[in-house]
Chain A
């Protein structure tokens, strides 16, 4: 059974059609990339998957792990195994990083009928994963994302992903704003999470991220539809030719 099945998905934002019939199937363990020009609907797709308010699905369906995803609230989707790594991670003044991670992990455990995580076990778990991402104890103590650089914010997203062990990682322009060193750290973090039972949807404007996170499939999203799908060589083709051809097709 496919992990994610998107069928004929139409989405409007403020009455304006953004996604105009998306079909996409992701099997367990697969990494798919969605590429497209700015304004093509890439971020909208990530928000519709994660359940943000303000995105109206006017037609179509999304099944996740056999369940009707659109009937679930954002927190229920996260518990079911969807993780959105935000393009712009949100600052949470006054909420310490460790508190945030613990709340998120305990919400999962509660849903699974398990007790709260033991404090020492939790600390060890987070420290071990934080270390590989170059996240210091001091950063974990600070309020979530407050005063973090762009690279620190993105690494923090990957840390959350590593701790929460989702079934589907949706990476929304995770490479934006990163220098080459940060890009490598983040990519290594993502690659370490590749697993036969975990799928990924990598949304990006540029091919460079896909040099580090090798996709199984690449889709080109333009003007609210997937215009082409192919293997990873499609990303290279886009890098060489740009998105100009897709804009004309849509016109």
Chain B
């Protein structure tokens, strides 16, 4: 039985009646909230740079079936525990027996989930002012919950491949929508790395919610490559709660989708948290890539760092909204934020909105935003040494992006992401028309 809600994108969502109580409660409040706030419009402040008209024009049907997902070439050499989410449902788990200290739970079977799942799911990702997180909570059909138990140090990263199969765009075939849901619980003193890769061809909407808790003294490296096809809408909310002395090292690399919104909200809930949310976005054609982050310093003595680098070619558009909130008692907060955008064509555009909201008086917070084109002096210097213009451009852009990529602490992931950048450059800078580039 399915839901027959008149709300947008909620038709054919899973029925609430019959769901286990914890889930029914979650779903009811999510549907109610979603109904109240509705989809963001042009006057919604949090969405003012990202117009959703093209998304709203879709009447997507739920993506169904478990498809085969190929591991991207750049990760071919990565020794990882592999998970697949196909069309919003957990489809593959590479290790039938997970490594000691790692628990994998299929959210597609909510009747049998252990207490740590039912008690945590929905407690990190806020739905109050986040219609897509509410929509995901109302509509997810599956996904995965991952627990790294107390004190465990996982040697292999967890590689999560999420793929959504869309309808054909040519001829107006119906688009699809999927709501991948992920819960990651890293318990006290545990150490793990999670690599997310999002792909999908055809016209579709991937509306992902990833909830993360990093326990006392625990460490999570969380790396995401959004590589959806050019007809995709990718809406993602990553919500993180970091307890005392936790380390969270996040990197988001966005190269895919027609329109993507990658929202990362972090609550620094205990002292001496080391919280890093860095990333890079590279867009071409008509792509629109939105990065929106909130770093919520709720307690004293935490450190946060955010370095984003963008490269925008063609008629693409980038959006960066980064807010650092320092609550009244969050003294001795040390926060640094920087967004740099490189425009490779006259038609590319960036909207950058850094925001510091500070209520404590003994803090060290700085932020900055720059936008520019490639430096002619640097280009000439390289060419004066015999390096062709296109190669010179690629070298400069690569060096510029590498300042961000270099922040990724886990080496094999860093190298894989470097390879993604190189491939993007090969396709879009070296010998490619970047639309009236300087």
Contact = CB atoms under 8 A, between A and B. Distances in A.
A131 B342 CA distance: 37
Contact of A52 (B380, B382, B403): B380
Contacts of A77: 384
Contacts of B398: 94
Nearest to A50: B384
Contacts of A51: 383-384
B386 interface: yes
Contact of B402 (A75, A79, A94, A111): A94
B388 interface: yes
Contact of B395 (A53, A84, A103): A103
B399 A95 contact: yes
Given A95-B395, A103-B387, A160-B385, A74 B403 contact: no
Contact of A103 (B377, B384, B391): B391
Contact of B383 (A74, A93, A108): A74
A92 interface: yes
Give the residue among B385, B389, B398, B400 with the most A Cβ atoms within 10 A. Answer: B385
Interface string A83-126: 11010011111110001100110011001000000000000000
B384 A74 contact: yes
Given A94-B399, A94-B402, A103-B395, A79 B383 contact: no
Contacts of A99: 395
Interface in A54-75: 73-75
28 contacts: A51-B384, A52-B384, A53-B380, A73-B383, A74-B384, A75-B386, A75-B387, A75-B392, A78-B383, A78-B387, A79-B386, A86-B384, A90-B377, A91-B378, A92-B378, A92-B382, A92-B396, A92-B399, A93-B400, A93-B403, A94-B399, A94-B400, A94-B402, A95-B399, A99-B395, A103-B385, A103-B395, A104-B386
A50 to B, nearest CB: 5
Contacts of A100: 382, 385
A77 B377 CA distance: 17
A107 B394 CA distance: 14
A201 interface: no
A164 interface: yes
Given A75-B383, A78-B383, A86-B381, A107 B376 contact: no
Given A75-B387, A75-B389, A93 B399 contact: yes
B381 A89 contact: yes
Nearest to B397: A94
Contacts of A53: 376, 380
Given A93-B399, A94-B399, A104 B381 contact: no
Contacts of B377: 90
A220 B377 CA distance: 28
A120 to B, nearest CB: 22
Given A90-B378, A104-B386, 5 more contacts: A90-B377, A90-B380, A94-B400, A95-B396, A164-B386
B425 to A, nearest CB: 14
Contact of A94 (B385, B386, B391, B403): B403
Contacts of B385: 78, 100, 103-104, 107, 160, 164
Which 3 A-B residue pairings sit nearest by Cβ, starting from the closest?
Answer: A94-B399, A78-B386, A90-B381
A143 B402 CA distance: 12
